[in-house]
A and B are shown apart, each in its own frame.
Chain A
Amino acid sequence: MALDSRVPKGPIKDKWTDYKNKINLVNPANKRHIDVIVVGTGLAGGSAAATLAELGYNVKAFAYQDSPRRAHSIAAQGGINAAKNYQGDGDSTYRLFYDTVKGGDYRSREANVYRLAEVSANIIDQCVAQGVPFARDYGGLLDNRSFGGVLVSRTFYAKGQTGQQLLLGAYSAMNRQIARGKIEMFNRHEMLDVVKVDGKARGIIARNLITGEIERHSAHAVVVATGGYGNVYFLSTNAMGSNVTAAWKIHKKGAYFANPCYTQIHPTCIPRSGDYQSKLTLMSESLRNDGRIWVPKNLEDVKAIREGSKKPTDLSEDERDYYLERRYPAFGNLVPRDVASRAAKERCDAGYGVNATGEAVYLDFAAAIERYGKEQAKIHNISNASDAKIYELGQAIVEAKYGNLFQMYEKIVDQDPYKTPMMIYPAVHYTMGGVWVDYNLMTTVPGLYCIGEANFSDHGANRLGASALMQGLADGYFVLPYTIGDYLADDIRTGKIPTDSKEFDEVEKEVKDRIDFFVNNKGKKSVDYFHKKLGKVMWDKCGMSRNEKGLKEAMVEIKAIREEFWKDVSVPGGANEMNPELEKAGRVADFLELGELFAKDALTREESCGGHFREESAEEDGPQKGEAKRNDKDFAFVSAWEYKGEPADAVLHKEELEFKDIELKQRSYK
């Protein structure tokens, strides 16, 4: 099947408006007869469910947690971008569009990104109307901060808990519709497969996680908003339950999976401390507004610090290497995430890592505390303030900005980051790849939509900070509710979709057979054993830098782990009860297939772009030496994979990317 992105014709700035004017609509009386399933209730799914219900559709929403409010969007810290230009610093829709395409290393679809930038300002208006308590200045107007990869301040925030506040906003909109009976909420339910009738998505099979009951749910369209697949690495900043199952199941039923190798390794996470580690914790990128990243200049100092004979605060300015400021003077500590992560890895690989594992760099707030302290002393007319007083005044400002993050750090690491620099190291955070969708956010299966992190469309090969929240809410509040109407307009006479059909029978049987297999297998090894093994291969061979040899090995190794898993996995407990091990087994089984496709995709893409760094494709000389080298001639396309049985047999379809409004350039942050 040829890929049709269905991007409307016309100048980029008019596409969305013109398209909306011409799109098919469903009249309000008919919407009452149309059901929509939304799987996942994070920012994308939650906002979509609420909006579709407001429009009048009957929505069934599903979450594996006990409340929609617990989806992992809640953990997003730093902020949400919007082209409001409240700061008057030259921001515009075009600039946000440009920054996002450039930040994504020219591997995203222009028309989608422009639309995202266009609706971004509405999101802020909407959220304020819902009572989201964004940070404000003393005049009562909204405050902004800056994030990596941009030269303006366009990020709106609510302390270090922006995702939480935005999700609670979407959740409150959902609650209003749940109370009205327009959303039927299925908490503690997990989608285990999609059901197609006559080629169209017409329902799902879900498991009630409390009783174990397998349920059939039908609808005229299915929306998958189940987030990213970062947990394929075992260790990531994702929630423990975050998984690829829904996305992978729809892939196996005909939805193409795009760019699986585009993964974001976030530069500022708390380093791992031991083998028992279950997850990694992110420290918001907003910290790079005020924190300076460094390692010692001399290896002797590194050694002394690791042995504990020297403290980082003992090192003078001359003995420190602020490597981001050194390498990227224009953007400094605010280079995009992929660049910052690789730079940290480069220093640590060269032996400059500052903790026992050799995988940590410093994020230092001393300079910011001093700067703010002096500023405060001036504001409060304190002349001849002592160093201690300046420090105290500055600390109060830093605490107001990042207090909850500092507290989180202290609780985990048991060190006071006001007194000694934080230690950070990159960790898997976000997946730009995902289910392929067209301009309408529809997958290659009619009636099956995919929104938010679960799809691939807006971030190219690298996502800029504070853009995930923007995309989730844009898709859910403002894009999908329009585009889905165009499809559903043909369904006004269809009537309820019955669930007693052979199509539902067949898929339900597949689902039940797999569950029965797990509980009856009585193998020797736990699910986590396999998940950790997979994670190690992924991190070592499909991590921050990749090469042909490693990727080929990864494909072989992942396949072997998968075969061992199906022979020897042990899942205690039964099928008809709450059984967390059974839930994990199903998810890991899918990760074990995705992992192999991931490696295959990375192997096929013989260029470096964004988060995908191929060692064979780096600049060899000149001022950009060592930086990622893109190959626009051969690889300016989206890799959309069609499932063919085994992950290794997947067939590649290319969506060629056209850049009409932005010139393709080497991405420079120097």
Chain B
Amino acid sequence: MNLTLKIWRQKDASAKGQMVDYKVNDISEHMSFLEMMDVLNEQLVNAGEEPVAFDHDCREGICGMCSLYINGEAHGPDRGITTCQLHMRMFKDGDTITIEPWRAAAFPVIKDLVVDRMAFERIQQAGGYISVNTSGNTQDANSLPISKHAADEAMDAATCIGCGACVATCKNSSAMLFVGAKVSQYALLPQGQVEAADRVKNMVAQMDLEGFGNCTNTGACEVECPKGISLDNIARMNRELMKAAIK
């Protein structure tokens, strides 16, 4: 298929960006979206032009590096996937595809489609851990039985890949699905109880400090989340925060 691409180009963080049109031809429907981008970049390199910078690494939907706002949707038109798992069979010959970076005040553009997600790092550093030394001198793993349901639910929350689609898609640029998922993973497990109150307070405080917006229960984040992280996690985080406040 032959396509027209409208892509956000921006030299660096301080430069002014703009949408630029490109044509790519003979794209196979079996290609992944990023392979289509590779074709475009190869074309640009061969023409002596600078290729489009975009984040990507594992290309199997788990590292969370890839982003892209495609035709107005985080990770593009398919559901339950990251951009690297999006395939060209979702498009048809003659389509025009608009490709933009994540847009959020807390995710400034570094170059073209690459954004700075350090805000997520700082939120995790504020409390996204259990304070146990890695000495290996902990108790035997099976001395702490954990209900299968709790373990499974914690796992569901822990599958978050930290890509930032929830923020990009939210009209308030809220990071509550991301933070809620991490808070939930530990809140659901007995190991996480000791520091539960401090954790949620510190992580939420850092989240606010970074300039992320609030949740107004639209639910777009859950829809666009490539890992299907549930809104329940936001509710759980709010409960945890309430519990911590009245403690």
Binding site for B on A (CB under 8 A): 47, 50-51, 54, 65-67, 69-72, 74-75, 84, 86, 119, 122-131, 133-142, 158-159, 161, 164-165, 168, 171-173, 175-176, 178-179, 185, 187, 210, 237, 239-241, 273-274, 276-279, 281-282, 407-408, 411-412, 414, 477-478, 526-528, 570, 572-573, 577-578, 580-581
Contacts A129-B130, A139-B145, A173-B134 given; indicate if A573 touches B61 (C-beta within 8 A).
Answer: no
Say yes or no: B111 contacts A414, CB within 8 Å.
Answer: no
B32 CB-CB contact with A under 8 Å: yes
Nearest-CB distance from A209 to chain B (Å)? 9
Partner of B121, one of A47, A67, A581: A67
Q: Which residues of B are found within 8 Å of A134, using beta-carbon distances? A: 141, 151
Say yes or no: A129 contacts B191, CB within 8 Å.
Answer: yes
Say yes or no: B142 contacts A158, CB within 8 Å.
Answer: no
Say yes or no: B65 contacts A70, CB within 8 Å.
Answer: yes
Say yes or no: B134 contacts A412, CB within 8 Å.
Answer: no
Say yes or no: A136 contacts B146, CB within 8 Å.
Answer: yes
Q: Which residues of A are found within 8 Å of B186, using beta-carbon distances? A: 131
* B33-41, B94-102, B208-216, B233-241: which lies at the interface: B33-41
B192 CB-CB contact with A under 8 Å: yes
Q: Which residues of A are found within 8 Å of B154, using beta-carbon distances? A: 131, 133
Say yes or no: A74 contacts B58, CB within 8 Å.
Answer: yes
Q: Which residues of B are found within 8 Å of A179, using beta-carbon distances? A: 125-126
| Top-4 shortest CB links A-B | A140-B145, A172-B129, A122-B136, A129-B138
* B1-9, B78-86, B167-175: which lies at the interface: B78-86
Bound together, the chains give a CA A179 to CA B35 distance in angstroms of 38
Partner of A278, one of B59, B64, B89, B133: B59
A-B contact pairs, 30 of them (CB 8 A): A50-B134, A65-B63, A71-B63, A124-B141, A125-B136, A126-B132, A128-B141, A129-B139, A131-B130, A133-B158, A136-B148, A136-B151, A137-B148, A140-B145, A140-B146, A175-B124, A179-B125, A239-B57, A274-B30, A274-B31, A276-B39, A278-B34, A281-B59, A408-B60, A411-B78, A478-B136, A526-B45, A570-B46, A578-B53, A580-B53
For residue A270, which residue of chain B has the nearest CB? B60
Say yes or no: B46 contacts A526, CB within 8 Å.
Answer: yes
For residue A66, which residue of chain B has the nearest CB? B117
Say yes or no: B158 contacts A411, CB within 8 Å.
Answer: no
Partner of B129, one of A122, A173, A240, A279: A173
Bound together, the chains give a CA A580 to CA B110 distance in angstroms of 13
Say yes or no: A131 contacts B151, CB within 8 Å.
Answer: no
Q: Which residues of B are found within 8 Å of A175, using beta-carbon distances? A: 121, 124-125, 128-129
Say yes or no: B136 contacts A126, CB within 8 Å.
Answer: yes
Contacts A135-B151, A187-B118 given; indicate if A74 touches B62 (C-beta within 8 A).
Answer: yes
For residue B147, which residue of chain A has the nearest CB? A140
B77 CB-CB contact with A under 8 Å: no
CB under 8 Å from chain A, chain B span 139-197? 139-142, 144-148, 151-152, 154-155, 158-159, 161-162, 185-186, 189, 191-192
Bound together, the chains give a CA A239 to CA B60 distance in angstroms of 8
Bound together, the chains give a CA A398 to CA B206 distance in angstroms of 40
Say yes or no: B78 contacts A128, CB within 8 Å.
Answer: no
Q: Which residues of B are found within 8 Å of A54, using beta-carbon distances? A: 133-135
Q: Which residues of B are found within 8 Å of A72, using beta-carbon distances? A: 57-58, 63
Nearest-CB distance from A500 to chain B (Å)? 29
Q: Which residues of B are found within 8 Å of A70, using beta-carbon distances? A: 57-58, 63-65
Nearest-CB distance from A73 to chain B (Å)? 10
Q: Which residues of B are found within 8 Å of A47, using beta-carbon distances? A: 134
B201 CB-CB contact with A under 8 Å: no
Bound together, the chains give a CA A297 to CA B184 distance in angstroms of 51
Nearest-CB distance from B32 to chain A (Å)? 7
B68 CB-CB contact with A under 8 Å: no
Bound together, the chains give a CA A135 to CA B159 distance in angstroms of 13
Say yes or no: A130 contacts B191, CB within 8 Å.
Answer: yes
Q: Which residues of A are found within 8 Å of B11, using beta-carbon distances? A: 577
CB under 8 Å from chain A, chain B span 69-93? 78, 80-81, 85, 87, 89
Bound together, the chains give a CA A70 to CA B55 distance in angstroms of 11
Say yes or no: A133 contacts B42, CB within 8 Å.
Answer: no
Contacts A50-B134, A138-B148 given; indicate if A407 touches B124 (C-beta within 8 A).
Answer: no
Say yes or no: B128 contacts A172, CB within 8 Å.
Answer: yes
Q: Which residues of B are found within 8 Å of A66, using beta-carbon distances? A: 55, 65, 116-118
Say yes or no: A578 contacts B148, CB within 8 Å.
Answer: no
Say yes or no: B124 contacts A172, CB within 8 Å.
Answer: yes
Say yes or no: A133 contacts B185, CB within 8 Å.
Answer: yes
B198 CB-CB contact with A under 8 Å: no
Nearest-CB distance from A259 to chain B (Å)? 26
Interface footprint category on B: 35 or more
Say yes or no: B48 contacts A578, CB within 8 Å.
Answer: no
Say yes or no: B59 contacts A273, CB within 8 Å.
Answer: no
Nearest-CB distance from B34 to chain A (Å)? 7
Say yes or no: A67 contacts B185, CB within 8 Å.
Answer: no
B131 CB-CB contact with A under 8 Å: yes
Q: Which residues of A are found within 8 Å of B45, using beta-carbon distances? A: 526-527, 570, 572, 581
For residue B162, which residue of chain A has the nearest CB? A69
Bound together, the chains give a CA A67 to CA B107 distance in angstroms of 14
- Other A-B contacts than A128-B141, A411-B61, 10 sampled, CB-CB below 8 A, are A54-B133, A54-B134, A70-B58, A75-B60, A133-B155, A136-B148, A239-B57, A408-B85, A412-B85, A528-B38
Nearest-CB distance from B9 to chain A (Å)? 13
Q: Which residues of B are found within 8 Å of A168, using beta-carbon distances? A: 158
Say yes or no: B158 contacts A273, CB within 8 Å.
Answer: no
Bound together, the chains give a CA A128 to CA B31 distance in angstroms of 40
Q: Which residues of A are found within 8 Å of B141, using beta-carbon distances? A: 84, 124-125, 127-128, 134, 142
Q: Which residues of B are found within 8 Å of A142, using beta-carbon distances? A: 141-142
Bound together, the chains give a CA A353 to CA B161 distance in angstroms of 36
Say yes or no: A125 contacts B65, CB within 8 Å.
Answer: no
Say yes or no: B51 contacts A580, CB within 8 Å.
Answer: yes
Q: Which residues of A are found within 8 Å of B46, using beta-carbon distances? A: 526, 570
Q: Which residues of A are found within 8 Å of B136, using beta-carbon distances? A: 119, 122-123, 125-126, 477-478
Q: Which residues of B are found within 8 Å of A273, using beta-carbon distances? A: 30
Bound together, the chains give a CA A50 to CA B159 distance in angstroms of 22
Bound together, the chains give a CA A72 to CA B140 distance in angstroms of 28
Contacts A140-B145, A141-B145, A411-B87 given; indicate if A279 touches B151 (C-beta within 8 A).
Answer: no
B28 CB-CB contact with A under 8 Å: yes
B232 CB-CB contact with A under 8 Å: no
Binary CB contact string for chain B from 7 to 40 against chain A (1 if under 8 A, 0 otherwise): 0000110000000000000001011101100110
Partner of A210, one of B78, B87, B110: B110
- Max chain B Cβ within 10 angstroms of own Cβ: one of A66, A69, A411, A526: A66
Say yes or no: A131 contacts B185, CB within 8 Å.
Answer: yes
Contacts A72-B63, A129-B191 given; indicate if A178 touches B125 (C-beta within 8 A).
Answer: yes
B104 CB-CB contact with A under 8 Å: no
Q: Which residues of B are found within 8 Å of A172, using beta-carbon distances? A: 124, 128-130
Say yes or no: B50 contacts A274, CB within 8 Å.
Answer: no
Q: Which residues of A are found within 8 Å of B162, using beta-carbon distances? A: 67, 69
Contacts A128-B191, A129-B191, A179-B125 given; indicate if A239 touches B58 (C-beta within 8 A).
Answer: yes
Bound together, the chains give a CA A239 to CA B125 distance in angstroms of 25
Bound together, the chains give a CA A187 to CA B117 distance in angstroms of 11
Q: Which residues of A are found within 8 Å of B155, using beta-carbon distances? A: 133, 135, 158-159, 165
Bound together, the chains give a CA A84 to CA B135 distance in angstroms of 18
For residue B160, which residue of chain A has the nearest CB? A168
Partner of B50, one of A276, A279, A572: A572
Nearest-CB distance from B39 to chain A (Å)? 6
Contacts A74-B62, A139-B145, A240-B57 given; indicate if A414 touches B87 (C-beta within 8 A).
Answer: yes
Partner of B81, one of A125, A164, A411: A411
Say yes or no: B49 contacts A129, CB within 8 Å.
Answer: no
Partner of B59, one of A123, A131, A279, A407: A279
Partner of A411, one of B53, B85, B118: B85
For residue B39, which residue of chain A has the nearest CB? A276
Nearest-CB distance from B89 to chain A (Å)? 6
Contacts A136-B151, A477-B134 given; indicate if A165 touches B158 (C-beta within 8 A).
Answer: yes
Nearest-CB distance from B26 to chain A (Å)? 10
